[in-house]
Amino acid sequence: MKFLIGPLLPALPATLTEREQMRPIAHRTEYWQRMFKEIVELARIADDLGFEAITVAEHHLATEGLEVGSVPSLFLYIAMHTRNIKVGPVGYVLPGWNPLRLAVETAWLDQLTQGRTIVGMARGYQARWLNSMAQKLHIQSTASDQGEIDRANRRAFEEHFRILKLAWSEEGFSFKGDFWEYPYPYAEGTPWAAAPFTQKYGMPGEVVEGRVRKISVVPKPYQRPHPPLFQAFSASDSTIVWCAREGVVPVIVIPGLKDVLRLAELYQKEAASAGRTLKLGQGIAPAKSIYIASDANEAMKIAETGSAGVWYHDIGGYFGFWEAFRLPGDEARWPVGKARLPRSEWTIERLHKADGIVAGTVSEVRRKMDELVEHVNPEYFNYNDGGDLGLMPIEMLKQQVRLFGEQILPHYR
């Protein structure tokens, strides 16, 4: 099993009280510099412990300083301060990007790091930044509700994905979709004054009669045909099916083992229908936050200081994330589709009971990991504690990562 750590939110290191007193804390350079230092410290520890990759979520415009990444330059920065660990997003919100520029950026990053990158992708659920960045496509954030906005978001996401795959390939390409066309303008081609030079030294067929008819992104990725591909925080059957058919690794956030097994079987079945024969668990990455202490009560206190006690309670709940942590008896009080769990139910205890986090001793964590391996045997495991960076005191977080990396990870690597 290969282990990912993250995604980092990332968050500027501060308490909620400090965020209130210094609002907006994201305007303060000193906190950004502290965050960069802590990211490097965490990445170096993960590198030494044998993690496969460290990942970062993409969110922007967060003046609260809680979700302030990611950009390709951050991954290059992390790679420059580590030796072996791969870096990348989980994931870039594709509808908010110019896909051609993203193809160029990721290929450059893969070359500069000599193949120490991954590419994660997401569709985007936060309107504050995505609606502004995707405005020219008339795309908005979505709650995966199968409505008109959701369908438009998915069309843009899948078109961007197709363009990335074409751009990373060895061949030149032309493309006309709902949102983008290459070359531009597509019908008559792009006029190119230096046509004689390109016709002699450039890609064959790139220029015809003075106009660009095909384009080719350079450089190509260091990893061929491209870096490993991941889908951020997957939960729906439709996303799992799409990932299986496209050879993308879904980071599965559904908490219960029974549901993870069902999605693993669905992935295996759909991959086979696309001509990919996989073992059960191959190509998937279940995600879990894990907190280790001398007993479960102490582990729960540690969890409370991080994203499990802050992000889920103060941010994630407003976007419906707690619906993944329903318990028996909830349906009678808050029917699915009619009522969400109220804020009074957004508790660390619910997360633990619903298997959204694992909090306990080393032996208790080992038991949970053994169950996952016995029933699903995933190719990857997403150790989600990277999301605690900037929320949990850094020394506490480093201790948690070391405990997991030294006492859990070696048994499954």
The residue ranges of every structural domain in the chain are: 2-169+220-288+361-411, 172-215
Class (C level, CATH) for 2-169+220-288+361-411: alpha beta
**Which secondary-structure segment (H or E) carries 212?**
strand 211-212
Q: Give the number of C-alpha atoms closer than 13 A to the C-alpha of residue 274, restricted to the C-beta side.
A: 16
**What amino acid occupies position 154?**
R
Q: What pLDDT sits at residue 395?
A: 98
Give me 108's structure tokens.
Answer: 């450059």
Give how far the C-alpha of residue 246 lies from the chain's centroid of Cα atoms, to the nearest Å: 17
* Burial class of residue 297 (count of CB atoms within 10 Å of its CB; 0-12, 13-18, 19+): exposed
Q: What does pLDDT average to over the chain? A: 96
Nearest to 283 by CA among 189, 358, 376: 376
Question: At 230, which helix (H) or strand (E)?
Answer: strand 229-234
396 pLDDT tier (thresholds 50, 70, 90): very high
Nearest C-alpha neighbor of 129 from the set 143, 140, 119: 140
Q: What is the pLDDT of residues 57-79, one digit of tens each?
A: 999 999 999 999 889 999 999 99
277-315 tens-digit pLDDT:
999 999 999 999 999 999 999 999 999 999 999 999 999
Phi, psi angles (nearest 5°) of residue 123: -100, -25
Q: Is the pLDDT of residue 145 over 80?
A: no
Residue-level pLDDT at 143: 76
> Phi, psi (5° rounding) for residue 287?
-120, 140
Q: What is the pLDDT of residues 192-227, one digit of tens each?
A: 999 999 999 999 999 999 999 999 999 999 999 999
CA max distance for the chain: 74
Distance CA 12, CA 38 (A): 9
